Homo-oligomer: A and B are copies of this chain.
Amino acid sequence: MAKALAEAEKALAADEIPIGAVVVFENQIIGRGYNQTERLRDVTAHAEMLAITAAANYLGNKYLADCTLYVTIEPCVMCAGASYWAQLKAVVFGAEEPKVGFRRHGALLHRRTQLRGGVQADACAKLMQQFFSMKRK
C-alpha cells in the first residue's frame, strides 16, 4: 500500500484526485497507475484501470488470477468491473468511499477475488482531504 500511496502522491502533484494503485505478482510490482482523468480528459483513466492494463501488458495475459491490486481508495463500479474481468486474486483498498465506492452496489468482484479494506486508511484518506481542501480554497 505504501507504493500505491506513492502513486497517489504523483496524482496530487499533478492536481488530480489523489488515488494510486499497484498490481503485485509474486511479491513484485508489475503494474502501477495514478488517477489521470484530468490530464488525459478520459473518465476511464482511473489508477486501477491503468495499473490493470499495465500488469496485463507485463504478463502478456489479460487474466491476473495470481495478482493482487492495491489501491488507496475503495474502487468505483467501473474499476470493480475491470477487476471482475481480470479475475484478480485479491483487491486491497485503503480508505472507504461510501458515495461512489462499488460496495454499495453489492458483490461486483469475481467470486474468486478476495476483498480487504481499511489498509493504511488514514494515510489514504488524508491525501484526499488535502486535495479537496486545496480545491475549496
- Which A residues contact B (CB, under 8 angstroms)? 37-38, 40-44, 49, 52-53, 56-57, 60-63, 76-82, 84-86, 102, 105-106, 108
Contacts and interface: CB of A to CB of B under 8 A. Distances in A.
A40 B54 CA distance: 11
Nearest to A61: B41
Contact of A105 (B53, B61, B105): B105
A34 B37 CA distance: 22
Contact of A57 (B42, B53, B102): B42
22 contacts: A37-B85, A40-B62, A41-B56, A41-B60, A41-B61, A42-B52, A42-B57, A43-B62, A43-B63, A43-B82, A43-B85, A44-B44, A44-B49, A44-B52, A44-B53, A77-B81, A78-B78, A78-B81, A78-B82, A81-B102, A105-B105, A105-B108
